[in-house]
Amino acid sequence: MSADTPKPAAPKPAKPIEPAIKPTRAQDFPEWYQQVVRAGDLAENSEVRGCMVIKPWGCGLWEQMQQALDAMLKATGHQNAYFPLFIPLSYFEKEAAHVEGFAKECAVVTHHRLEVGPDGKMRPAPSAQLAEPLVVRPTSETIIGAAYARWVQSYRDLPILINQWANVVRWEMRPRLFLRTTEFLWQEGHTAHETEKEAQEETERMLGVYETFARDWLALPVFVGEKTESERFPGAVRTLCIEAMVQDRKAIQAGTSHYLGQNFAKASGIKFQSREGREEFAHTTSWGVTTRLIGTMVMAHADDDGLCLPPRVAPTQVVILPVAPKEDTRAAVFEAAEKLAAELRAQTWQGQPLRVHVDRRDIGGGTKSWEWIKKGCPVRIELGPRDLAQGTVAVCSRDQGARHKEFIPQADAVTGMPARLGAVQQGLYDRALAFRFEHTREIGTKEDFYAFFTAKNEKEIHGGFALAHWNGSPEVEAKIKEDLKVTIRCLPFTETTPGTCPFTGEPSPRRALWAKSY
Amino acid sequence: MSADTPKPAAPKPAKPIEPAIKPTRAQDFPEWYQQVVRAGDLAENSEVRGCMVIKPWGCGLWEQMQQALDAMLKATGHQNAYFPLFIPLSYFEKEAAHVEGFAKECAVVTHHRLEVGPDGKMRPAPSAQLAEPLVVRPTSETIIGAAYARWVQSYRDLPILINQWANVVRWEMRPRLFLRTTEFLWQEGHTAHETEKEAQEETERMLGVYETFARDWLALPVFVGEKTESERFPGAVRTLCIEAMVQDRKAIQAGTSHYLGQNFAKASGIKFQSREGREEFAHTTSWGVTTRLIGTMVMAHADDDGLCLPPRVAPTQVVILPVAPKEDTRAAVFEAAEKLAAELRAQTWQGQPLRVHVDRRDIGGGTKSWEWIKKGCPVRIELGPRDLAQGTVAVCSRDQGARHKEFIPQADAVTGMPARLGAVQQGLYDRALAFRFEHTREIGTKEDFYAFFTAKNEKEIHGGFALAHWNGSPEVEAKIKEDLKVTIRCLPFTETTPGTCPFTGEPSPRRALWAKSY
């Protein structure tokens, strides 16, 4: 409410303020998440199980993320291309021969026509059965590999540095909006190189791009490291990843970058004549991030009143809410709101003009304001007739809580907006980092480790992230997963000190990052 | 070749210059088209029949088109959203009950898992057969309609103005790169309105956007009008379209905008409480353009040496080709090329910095230059050691032919580049318009009409577009289609003068546009 809202006749006794999202994080985290996504108008479930409808606010968020990341991918020398949605079944057979344990939960196309059957109902036409079924791409290594095999003859054709923005499908039995959906959107980079060294550098470079993107755009502090063998992408020689902590202290894998060695090149036949005139297989990489990043941001930043979007990727950074309940002042307030919007749009932050929206809808001011709170718009400005007279506005920074409000001169609101957006961006990052710091422990004994992941506090939430030594044994890893549902999220690059494995007493080259995960 | 290319010892007799693309347009237009697309590195066929690989140059072109059109859609109040790839079979039954003749050539998903069968080969797992098959979207009216039915309760929820960028699948028996592919990329707008008037206005507004986009970005002059009943989108009340002429004088439908009346709202249940408190069905529209626009541009602008891309959508507008065969001058030439690129990038045209690329690849200068000619890069600049000494460059405007070259001071090349790009853009448009004008006739008799479409010139190409009166009879339309494979492309909005139908002698409200078409 702005300064113009009629004051109540007499002060009422303070009543506890209800959060906008029910249940709260503390009451039921998974249900809170669903409600935040719904209330924030990001997405909803469709009638096709596991497939979501990404609504305009969620789609706008993805577009901002896509633009930023696309520019980073191009700046590192990559070009976009587009490959077929369908992959012949035989390609999977080729891959299966090279790759153990690749995912088989795929949508399979078997017919290419519909017809009305004898019962009067529509059905796939039996006469239009495909000789070879087609698989809706769960990832595109094989179909892209087939193209690279055509394109590469000589070392002069390398490297190939290509990225694709696409939809992919992996059948999900327990879908959850953004985090795990049957269809999702992503980018998948696929590169082919002359040498292992170049391919390894590419794998690490792209992980670095993801770390930067998560930190500077999404306000997500992430651990950066390498997966153990058991968590590696099937067929990869190395899988690198970024791992974020969310507010129930679990980990979310937010992006991966794989060095595939020559495995996929051999399966697809990507070979070239080397500088020495020998026939060699290319070294390939692949790397991707998905709409799961949206779910990660929600779980990391949202509060009990709804979303808190990082300003760098928010579709609207500043929303102006004209408050003009009375007919006679409405025109003046709306005009002032548009003028203010124009002034704000003339400001730039992070090299781009501010994204400003005036919400002119004819609905109640409270309802309108709460919609934008729940949508996590970084800054709201309320503007009413009294503000016009006084030259002030009410400015609300979302990271400061749903009820934060400052009355400041309008001119200051304009000139100070880039700095304010910067403060919101930094505020979200700092809060997430402090939270992660608070819930990450270096643990030296098995007893402490088990206690950390089993002792529950009043919120039924386990400890968080553990940094603990590990002797490298897959059996130890498997046992802990069985006992605690805790896995090694990665071997962080920052951990380099040798020590003793608390589970076996054996030497350990460095600490691993352990957590429960999505 | 630049001024620095070694001159031949003695002049040789002039030999006829071979075109880069074989066959030429005159020799075999369909095959010329395939060769231009291939030589221009836009796309290629994949091993999945009917599905193409869009290569980086083609994808970059689509990205430019997408950015420009997306901005126009947002400027007219639309937001993007994303809906599921899969549509339950039952939705098609609902639609089929309302809509005669909708397309049934669809990819049908019947299983959600792969497994290794008893013969050791991979197959769709019989245990994972879907209870209800899913159809890969051929268009999204039904799945989007189901969402709108959830979102709309009151007139206050209207209008809904949403666009989706997506891939769609329609099984093609005779695929052709870009023009007709099983999978293609497009945008599909879907809007819902309170009144017929608003929906009709929306339908016309979006057709206007397409006309502007075709003219000002793609350099395509188009006829704008309404389809006859036989060419209407199944279920639509009105289908509006833009129609372009390509160089074999056939028509390509380059975009459509449909007013769907309340047909789809009834099938999907999009109803609302009106201002008068009555329950009413919404009036909906849909409109789309596809990657077919790329094929249209190729057929309209390319010549016998390859592509000619309109600068506004070319991924690279200016390519700089350093010509430095000798080791001792190479560094200086490359440095000068980068400096020139930086100066050009500081120039703007149409509100954007110029898109400039320096081709530093170590391949022969002739090969390199011809690659860029075939890719249709609007402007090439060749720069060698002698140019450095003289302060000149060789500038080549693609619309002036593959061999066009001017030697001009380097400073002029920089400051004059925006105007040059403007001239290339205008040049392509003017040429296409002149071509269309030359091959469009107002025809007043049946004999002339039949002669126009059957009399073939030395190039085996029929007349072109005919503007001829028509009494509105579907039988006349059907007969002409049968006789000549000529259809009414549209009833152009510019044609308003009544006259006499040459086929029946009956009165005609206005001339129709007749042509063979893709």
State the pairing for strand pair A160-169/A79-80.
parallel
Q: Where in chain A is the domain with CATH 3.30.110.30?
A: 440-515
Contact B263, B237 (CB under 8 A): yes
Topology annotation, domain B29-301: BirA Bifunctional Protein; domain 2 (3.30.930)
Concatenate the DSSP letters of all residues of B328-350 into one string: HHHHHHHHHHHHHHHHHHT-EET
Contacts of A122 in chain B (CB under 8 A): 89, 92-93, 96
Distance in angstroms (rounded) separating the CA atoms of residues A359 and A377: 12
Size of interface A-B (CB pairs under 8 A): 183
Interface with chain B: mutation pick from A45, A90, A108, A167, highest number of B CBs within 10 Å: A108
Which is the CATH superfamily of the domain at B439-515? Answer: C-terminal domain of ProRS (3.30.110.30)
The stretch A37-54 carries a mean pLDDT of 96
Q: What are the residues whose beta carbons fall under 8 Å from the beta carbon of B433, sequence distance 6 or more? A: B221
Q: What are the residues whose beta carbons fall under 8 Å from the beta carbon of A59, sequence distance 6 or more? A: B79, B80, B81, B82
Q: What are the residues whose beta carbons fall under 8 Å from the beta carbon of B79, sequence distance 6 or more? A: A56, A59, A60, B161, B162, B163
Buried b (16+ CB within 10 A) or exposed e, A435-445: bbeebbbebee
Distance in angstroms (rounded) separating the CA atoms of residues B169 and B109: 12
Distance in angstroms (rounded) separating the CA atoms of residues B99 and B265: 12
* Pair of tokens at residue B360: 């530093």
Please compute, for residue A429, the number of CA atoms within 13 A of its CA located in the half-sphere on the CB side.
Answer: 20
Q: What are the residues whose beta carbons fall under 8 Å from the beta carbon of B150, sequence distance 6 or more? A: A44
Contact A344, A411 (CB under 8 A): no
Which among B53, B156, B162 is the nearest to A83, CB-wise? B53
User: Which residues does residue B356 pair with via DSSP β-bridges, in sequence order?
Assistant: B318
Per-residue DSSP letter, A431: H
CA distance B290 to chain A (A): 14
Please compute, for residue B256, the number of CA atoms within 13 A of its CA located in the half-sphere on the CB side.
Answer: 22
Contacts of B104 in chain A (CB under 8 A): 113-115, 125
Distance in angstroms (rounded) separating the CA atoms of residues B472 and B214: 29
User: Is the pLDDT assigned to residue A13 strictly greater than 90?
Assistant: no
* pLDDT attached to residue A12: 56
The stretch B54-64 carries a mean pLDDT of 98
Coil, helix or strand for A468? strand
Q: What are the residues whose beta carbons fall under 8 Å from the beta carbon of A98, sequence distance 6 or more? A: A235, A263, A264, A266, A267
Q: Test A112 with B96 for CB contact under 8 angstroms.
A: no
Which of B292, B299, B253, B294 lies closest to B29, judged by CA? Answer: B299
* Pair of tokens at residue A187: 């980018």
Please compute, for residue A457, the number of CA atoms within 13 A of its CA located in the half-sphere on the CB side.
Answer: 11
Which of B458, B490, B491, B464 lies closest to B245, judged by CA? Answer: B464
- What's the Cα-to-Cα distance from B240 to each of B187, B224, B228, B256, rounded to whole Å? 16, 8, 9, 6
B126 to chain A: nearest residue by CA? A108
Q: Test B111 with A110 for CB contact under 8 angstroms.
A: yes
Contacts of A171 in chain B (CB under 8 A): 112-113
**What's the pLDDT band for B270 if we cut at 50, 70, 90?**
very high
Give the whole-number percent of chain B exceeding pLDDT 70.
94
Q: What are the residues whose beta carbons fall under 8 Å from the beta carbon of B65, sequence distance 6 or more? A: B217, B218, B293, B294, B313
**What's the pLDDT band for A120 if we cut at 50, 70, 90?**
confident
Coil, helix or strand for A344? helix
Which among A81, A123, A135 is the nearest to B54, CB-wise? A81
* pLDDT attached to residue A364: 87
Which has the higher per-residue pLDDT, A40 or B7? A40
Please compute, for residue A364, the number of CA atoms within 13 A of its CA located in the half-sphere on the CB side.
Answer: 3
Contacts of B183 in chain A (CB under 8 A): 84-86
Contact A80, A191 (CB under 8 A): no
Contact A160, A180 (CB under 8 A): no
pLDDT tens, position by position, B169-209: 999 989 999 999 999 999 999 999 999 999 999 999 999 99
* pLDDT attached to residue B390: 93
Task: Domain A29-117+124-301: state its class.
Answer: alpha beta
* pLDDT attached to residue B365: 87
Q: Where in chain B is the domain with CATH 3.30.110.30?
A: 439-515
Q: Where in chain A is the domain with CATH 3.40.50.800?
A: 318-431
Angle at A380 between CA A375 and CA A381, to 5 degrees: 155
pLDDT tens, position by position, B210-235: 999 999 999 999 999 999 999 999 89
* Pair of tokens at residue B408: 């001009």
Which of A118, A59, A487 lies closest to A291, judged by CA? Answer: A59
Contact B43, A82 (CB under 8 A): no
Consecutive H or E run containing A373: helix A365-374
Interface with chain B: mutation pick from A41, A48, A127, A165, highest number of B CBs within 10 Å: A48
User: Is the pLDDT assigned to residue B254 strictly greater than 90?
Assistant: yes
Contacts of B105 in chain A (CB under 8 A): 112-113
A90 to chain B: nearest residue by CA? B122
Distance in angstroms (rounded) separating the CA atoms of residues B149 and B141: 12
**What's the pLDDT band for B309 if we cut at 50, 70, 90?**
very high
Distance in angstroms (rounded) separating the CA atoms of residues B449 and B434: 21
Contact A228, A491 (CB under 8 A): yes
Kindly report the backbone phi and psi dihedral angles of residue A162, in degrees, each rounded to the nearest multiple of 5, phi listed first.
-125, 145
Distance in angstroms (rounded) separating the CA atoms of residues B179 and B70: 21
User: Which residues does residue A440 pair with via DSSP β-bridges, in sequence order?
Assistant: A465
Contacts of B123 in chain A (CB under 8 A): 89, 133
Which of B177, B396, B404, B420 lies closest to B297, judged by CA? Answer: B177
Distance in angstroms (rounded) separating the CA atoms of residues A187 and B484: 47
Neighbours of A140 (CB within 10 A): 22
Helices A417-438 + A292-301 axis angle, to 10 = 80
Distance of CA A266 to the CA centre of its chain: 32
Per-residue DSSP letter, A113: -
Q: What is the mean pLDDT of chain B?
A: 94
Which among B54, B150, B162 is the nearest to A82, CB-wise? B54
Write the single-letter amino acid at B215: R
**What's the pLDDT band for A1 if we cut at 50, 70, 90?**
very low
* Pair of tokens at residue B249: 């004088």
Consecutive H or E run containing A109: strand A108-111
* Pair of tokens at residue A156: 């002069």
CA distance A397 to chain B (A): 25
A184 to chain B: nearest residue by CA? B84
Kindly report the backbone phi and psi dihedral angles of residue B501, in degrees, each rounded to the nearest multiple of 5, phi listed first.
-70, 120
CA distance A282 to chain B (A): 20
Q: Test A85 with B55 for CB contact under 8 angstroms.
A: no
Interface with chain A: mutation pick from B41, B44, B46, highest number of A CBs within 10 Å: B46
Neighbours of B64 (CB within 10 A): 20
Q: Test B86 with A55 for CB contact under 8 angstroms.
A: no
Neighbours of A57 (CB within 10 A): 21
pLDDT tens, position by position, A252-274: 999 999 999 999 999 999 999 99
The stretch B63-82 carries a mean pLDDT of 98
* pTM of the complete model: 0.95
Distance in angstroms (rounded) separating the CA atoms of residues A171 and A107: 7
pLDDT tens, position by position, A446-488: 999 999 998 766 555 688 999 999 999 999 999 999 999 999 9
Distance in angstroms (rounded) separating the CA atoms of residues A328 and A313: 38
Topology annotation, domain A318-431: Rossmann fold (3.40.50)
* Pair of tokens at residue A337: 């709101």
* pLDDT attached to residue A118: 85
Please compute, for residue A215, the number of CA atoms within 13 A of its CA located in the half-sphere on the CB side.
Answer: 12
Number of helices followed by number of strands (H, E) in chain A? 14, 29
Q: Where in chain A is the domain with CATH 3.30.930.10?
A: 29-117+124-301
**What's the pLDDT band for B322 if we cut at 50, 70, 90?**
very high
Give the whole-number percent of chain A exceeding pLDDT 70.
94
Which among B63, B80, B134 is the nearest to A56, CB-wise? B80
Say which CATH architecture domain A440-515 belongs to: 2-Layer Sandwich (3.30)
Coil, helix or strand for A419? helix
Which among B93, B134, B167 is the nearest to A85, CB-wise? B167
* Pair of tokens at residue A381: 């400005």
pLDDT tens, position by position, B98-134: 555 666 899 999 999 999 888 888 899 999 999 999 9
Helices A292-301 + A29-39 axis angle, to 10 = 110
